[in-house]
Amino acid sequence: MERQTKQRQAILQVIREQGRPLTVDEILNYGRFHVPRLGMTTVYRSVRAMLREGVLLGVQYPGQPTRYEMPAHSDHIHFICNCCGKVHDLPLSQTEISLQLPDGFVAKGQELIVYGFCPECRPGGKAADAGIS
Amino acid sequence: MERQTKQRQAILQVIREQGRPLTVDEILNYGRFHVPRLGMTTVYRSVRAMLREGVLLGVQYPGQPTRYEMPAHSDHIHFICNCCGKVHDLPLSQTEISLQLPDGFVAKGQELIVYGFCPECRPGGKAADAGIS
DNA sequence: ATAGGTGCAAACAGTTTGCATGTAT
DNA sequence: ATACATGCAAACTGTTTGCACCTAT
């Protein structure tokens, strides 16, 4: 992203003001409020450029289109239910991650995805029994 | 997955013997060695059923098709370079994760995805400086 | 025997590309 | 002025669905 255009400003703005991961379609809909003739091609190209610059972060949930968010908003756990496919955002609060990467790798953000069964789908019922199996 | 068919056996077998996440296309190619007329429809449907059962785990890298692996093989870090898009499998060895989920959530597997720049793409060069920024 | 599985082809959805036009620098 | 950005339409790729045939139970 080298030039400053109203399209790119709008894209960043809607992602910033929503404060959650948005799909290209969502960016397009919100963005057209600011730039009526905004095209999806532009969104795809801008988003890709912003990813390269680290301004945005891409998040993918199985079976859903890629969503883009500001890196600062990504400090939570993405819990994906193997059964219903829903994605739950869980607090990272009680979870500790001490990251140690090999030389040469620079971390700009991280995401912990946990797979399993959510309360609704759990075979047992609703009793509490969290933890890695 | 309720019935035992040679297609489904083959699908599980190739994923097990490769020991890494495979795309549907890869499953198809390897699988046709065992079942020549194996169709992609079958692979998609079987894989989805296995996901539901927790037998398989889906892994998604931005811009790439979904890959499927045995849950046991997922204990490593997926490092995705924001610049070149490559996915590096890094050892989980030095990294500590103490997971604590809210009541009712059952973890069957986890995946730590770290975004950043790999040694080739890092702005600086090759000096060592890992760690969350 | 029959419910469930398979595989082809066609439909879909998300994303990328070609190209003429527009615009920030 | 000019190199880069835009947006439409068409092409692509990964995935799903309709339907007739097959097969494990």
Q: Do A130 and B96 lie within an 8 Å CB cutoff?
A: no
Do domains B6-68 and B72-133 share one topology? The answer is: no
Query: Which residue has better confidence, B29 or B85?
Result: B29
- Give residue-wise pLDDT tens across range A49-100: 998 888 888 877 667 788 898 876 556 777 776 665 556 667 776 666 777 7
Helix/strand/coil for B9 = helix
**C1' of nucleotide D13: residue with nearest CA:** B65
Beta strand A67-69 with A22-23 is: antiparallel
Question: What's the pLDDT at A102?
Answer: 80
Residue owning tokens 């703005």: A13
pLDDT band at A6 (very low <50, low <70, confident <90, very high): very high
Q: Which residue in B104, B115, B130 is closest to A122 by CB distance?
A: B104
A59 burial type by CB count under 10 A (0-12 exposed, 13-18 middle, 19+ buried): buried
Residue B128 has pLDDT above 50, yes or no: no
Angle, vertex CA A5, rays to CA A4 and CA A11, nearest 5: 105
Residue B92, CB, strand D, below 7 Å: no
The pLDDT tens digits of the residues spanning B10-57 come to 999 999 998 778 899 999 999 999 999 999 999 999 999 998 888 888
Q: How far is CA B103 from CA A67, A127, A128, B10, B53, in A?
A: 27, 8, 5, 37, 21
Instruction: Give CA–CA dist A44/B31, Å, rounded.
Output: 35
Nucleotides of chain C within 7 Å of a protein C-beta?
Answer: 4-9, 13-18, 23-25
**pTM score:** 0.66
Q: Where are the domains of chain A?
A: 6-68, 72-133
Report the alpha-carbon distance of residue B101 to residue A22 in Å, rounded: 25
Residue B66 in tokens: 């979904």
Q: What nucleotide is nearest B2 when CA is compared to C1'?
A: C4
Pick the residue with more confidence: B126 or B5?
Answer: B5
**pLDDT at residue B117, rounded to an integer:** 77
Domain at B6-68: CATH code: 1.10.10.10
Look up the CATH number of domain A72-133.
Answer: 3.30.1490.190
